[in-house]
Amino acid sequence: MAVAPRERSGIASATMNALRQSGMTISISLLGTVLATTATASLTTALMNAKVGNAAELASIAIRRHEMPGGLGIAPDTFHAMLASALARGFSAAATLAGLFALLAAATLAAAALQARRTLPGSAFARKS
């Protein structure tokens, strides 16, 4: 915003707002997908290890509804422990991905700031003499 000409500051502000909103929407969708996919895979594995038939479908239902599907043949406490573990793994995967994206964004911004400092002497990033 500091480098945008005064007559275009409104356009620059609107563009930044639109990009921020788009980024948040895409991020939430992506991280939610990572969480759900990882949790479903983890619960599927746990149900298969417990010798539950149709484990993938039942795991998908359980993750979407956050409840124990009927006809599992395992104790509710055991299932809820499996579900909690699967959701924790999904959250961990999503949080790790978010952290990696944050580091990438910070590195990109730092590189851009250094480049601007070197190439744009009249910019807001210019070195003071």
Name the residue among 76, 78, 40 with its Cα closest to residue 57. Answer: 40
Task: Name the band, by pLDDT with cuts 50, 70 and 90, for residue 71.
Answer: confident
Q: Name the residue ranges covered by the structural domains of the chain.
A: 11-93
Q: What is the pLDDT of residue 12?
A: 84
The structure tokens 């499996």 sit at 82
For the stretch 33-67, pLDDT in tens is: 999 999 999 999 999 999 998 999 999 999 999 99
Residue 95 has pLDDT above 60, yes or no: yes
Model-level pTM?
Answer: 0.75
Q: What is the pLDDT of residue 56?
A: 94
* Residues in the chain, total: 129
Name the residue among 86, 81, 22 with its Cα closest to residue 60. Answer: 86
For the stretch 97-127, pLDDT in tens is: 999 999 999 999 999 888 877 776 665 555 5
